[in-house]
Structure 1
Amino acid sequence: MARNVVVTGSTSGIGLAIANVFAEAGDRVAINGFGETQEIEAQVHRLQQLSKTDAMHHAADMTKPEEIADLIAATSRRFGSVDILVNNAGVQHIDKIEDFPIDAWDKIIAINLSSSFHTIRAVIPLMKTKKWGRIINIASAHALVASPFKSAYVAAKHGILGLTKTAALELAEFGITVNAICPGYVLTPLVERQIPDTARARGMTEEEVKTEVLLKAQPTKDFVKAEDVAALALYLASDAARQVTGTHLSIDGGWTAA
């Protein structure tokens, strides 16, 4: 039976990979994010073909609670409910704390942390009605360890783990699981955009950033693939994972093993 899935921040990168695997599983998928209209329309059409059912796009700005609420409401109206929520939307800014722009801090906290609260708050009544649901928060290795020059991102991702645990406890008796995935470095557009900023902040070349900063953290010396994260999300949404809740699963090439 097709399930109804919302994936935030899913017009590219990890989010789009997650939308793809759920569509391939025959689920109806609502993607969210910015991009060129024609490109997004093509993505929706492809997801509809993959799933052999339905797909949609909602352009909710994840800094605006009222638009986030409408994302969930609009999806529920079109699909009939929301069974699976994947919170993936994220942004980044690299800077020393004393130089960190206040508006950049506020934006990162809003998108990387607060938006997940707003989506979870909106889907809980829908999931409780069906006595089944899956909430999957895409956190980061930075939910477990810190790196310099990423104060807002690290703070937000640590906060996601706290939100995950609290929601899991509140929803444990309703057939709803809540978990976080903590990827290491995935060569997504978000990571690619931060390479020049990291090079500037550290006084390094961009190639040195890749080998001596990013992949140095991962003992496998290889980037995680977006498809790897998507496969883990698909597992967490399965009945086989019904007793997995309130925890995080690392997929970071051994980064946080030490």
Structure 2
Amino acid sequence: MDTWPAPFRETSKGKKLQRQSSHQIVIEQRATHINGSERLALVDSGCTQTLVSKICCATWKAERIPVLTVGGGSLASCGVSIIHASINDGPAVAVRALVVERELLGYDLLLDMDLITQLGGITVDRTGKVQFSRCEEHVCAAITLDEPEFPAEYDRNTNAWTASWKWSNDQPPISLRNRLSEYPSPMWLREQYEEELQTWIDNGWLFPYTEEEFGHPRGLIPLMAVVQETKQKVRPVLDYRELNEHVDPYTARADVCALKLREWRQ
């Protein structure tokens, strides 16, 4: 594939079709079933919302949503539709896609991060081949990490990482003092803050805590809203300060972290 799709960014209406930095992007063409018919899709992890040609959709809700490309071009969708997509006869998943008038670069579907997530995520081998975690057979060796701050282990059956803390003097706290789940934030940023939190929920990063499954809670990490002024974004951030009192600090990369934090705040 010689021509890459134009990178999308957020429009004035707040539609989040934001391209990530180029080193994070995975791109590959793939045969896909859309609403029961086989179509050609372009797997593109650099965009947040899936786009589909209207020839794949029997019905859709008419809605003109302008999308700007980083290169300065424009693309207008003609509506939105709930599509059902599957890979290699795997289970079909539903996703809300933007409908466009014509094929994009010759593809019926730009299969982006919202649909990639619904399909269980992807792995990329050393040759660059893309495999869908829930839909294709692949072998992944067990991965374990032992960092100065934490150990972590990857479970290929659940496609998930499990990490734990390394406590000071090997003694975890009996419980944390904090009882506040969230710091108060100004009303003018609540909408953006709650939108970002919803993406955490949609991606499975934030979910209800149940004592039946996890036992009696021993700590509560409060959330707060942080304004990233250069990107005009509001980010939910977890306040780990009290928890960090019980963890030995590892300062080998402190200067790098401080530099990155300054860059992030600018």
Q: Bin the TM-score by the shorter chain.
A: under 0.3
Q: Which has the higher helix share?
A: 1
What is the TM-score when the length of structure 1 is the normalising length?
Answer: 0.26
What is the TM-score when the length of structure 2 is the normalising length?
Answer: 0.26
Q: Which has the higher strand share?
A: 2
Q: Which has the higher contact order (CA 8 A, sep 6+)?
A: 1
Asked which structure has the greater CA Rg, the reply is 2
